[in-house]
Amino acid sequence: MEKTPPFLLFLTFLCAFSPASSQPFLGVNYGEVADNLPPPSATARLLQSTTITKLRLYDADASVISAFSGTGISLLLGVHNADIFSLASSPNAAASWVSANLLPFLPATSVSAVSVGNEVLNSGDPSLSSALLPAMQSLRAALDASAVTAGVKVSTVHSMAVLSQSDPPSAGAFHADLAGILEPILQFLRDNGSPFMINPYPYFAFRSDPRPETLAFCLFQPGPSRVDPASGIPYSNMFDAQVDAIKTALRSSGFPGQEVVVAETGWPYKGDNNEVGASVENAKAYNGNLMAHLGSITDPVETYIFAMYDEDLKPGPTSERSFGLFQPDLTPTYDIGLLNSGSQTAVSSSPAVPAEMSKPTDQCAAGDGGSPCSRPLVEYLPSASARSSAGVRRWLSWKGVTGMLALGSIFVW
């Protein structure tokens, strides 16, 4: 018999007597490159005790899908990049995928969409990119064959590297050499009412310019707005600037009003010595202030925070294994008010920056995109840089390729 962790027993008791305060725009990523994850059923109960209403998987793990039956939490499933060729070449393969991964679980488990691949257009494999749209079309046809699955949307997730220009946000543009593949995909999304999914990471933008004022901008902390010189729109944070650059690129490509979903964003709470900005304080500030920011605007973009747990088997620097909101024993890594306890704490604090603000050797920068908004409805403590910053606004672009995200630009003081 599965043993229930003491912390989860407490959560079960707490939720029975606490009013729920779910946030329909908020999701979390559930990666499984780990050997210490709790049982899926424990994760399902944990998420039911939080304000999170959506969960993104990178595959279609049957044990996870079944564990969320009857929870009311909506799942975004994934098709592995390696399976794209078979879906593209065979309608039977797509039908088999739907039969194996959806039909046994719906409608008891809520599945909102399936992402065919992850960051395929920047995988470096032209043949995989060419197979992406046929795979999406094949899966769409297979889903439409059953009334049970016809409402499930089909999309694919992109990195910010699909942009050739991202600063200022009003100049956002896709790489011209992707137009032949990307524009038919955009037409497919429009025709089927599916969202454009993107992975913005302000963390990588900060790493390319690790100054206190840049950190405050990336962490949603107070400071003078950065004004887009072309549109005149003031930006109070990097996240909105990144999302807006994507929206501009979509509009310039002939797809104004295309829905955008943030499929990944987050901040590591730990890193190697040269991974500037990776700390508990900054991770808490970014994710907590992101939640408050999204909750304060009229039409927040659907956003999935990376990640539910650390993935201890991931290769690379320490930060790659340090994005988890929760630990394997189901306790929060840090408190950002996710639990439905009736007393969410305001997240703020000054950013925790190493004393030596040297630029790391392995530069990596994020891109831009989002929508202008009002100040979040929480009380922030101003950082030292916000109290003393002064100077002339200017735009600075950093373009590089490394880590989880390629291409980026930021505008700084």
By annotation, the residues acting in catalysis are 119, 264
Beta bridge partners of 165: 173
Contacts of 17 (CB under 8 A, 6+ apart): none
**236 phi and psi angles, rounded to 5 deg:** -100, -5
Q: Is 117 exposed, middle or buried, given 0-12, 13-18 or 19+ CB atoms closer than 10 A?
A: buried
Three-class SS of residue 209?
coil
Nearest Cα neighbor of 162 from 145, 187, 147, 181 is 181
Q: Is 297 exposed, middle or buried, given 0-12, 13-18 or 19+ CB atoms closer than 10 A?
A: middle
Report in angstroms the alpha-carbon separations of 226 from 22, 64, 196, 235, 239.
32, 42, 26, 5, 12
Classify residue 158 by its DSSP letter.
Answer: E
Report in angstroms the alpha-carbon separations of 271 from 210, 219, 231, 318, 319.
15, 17, 37, 5, 4
**How would you classify residue 374: left for phi > 0, otherwise alpha for psi between -120 and 50, otherwise beta?**
beta
C-alpha span between 385 and 223 (Å, rounded): 8
Contacts of 328 (CB under 8 A, 6+ apart): 36, 37, 38, 309, 310
**How would you classify residue 403: left for phi > 0, otherwise alpha for psi between -120 and 50, otherwise beta?**
left
Residue 225 is encoded by which pair of tokens? 């707005």
Classify residue 56 by its DSSP letter.
Answer: E
Residue 143 is encoded by which pair of tokens? 């889903």
E strand or H helix at 142, and its extent? helix 126-144
C-alpha span between 90 and 96 (Å, rounded): 10
C-alpha span between 335 and 322 (Å, rounded): 15
Nearest Cα neighbor of 309 from 294, 329, 291 is 329
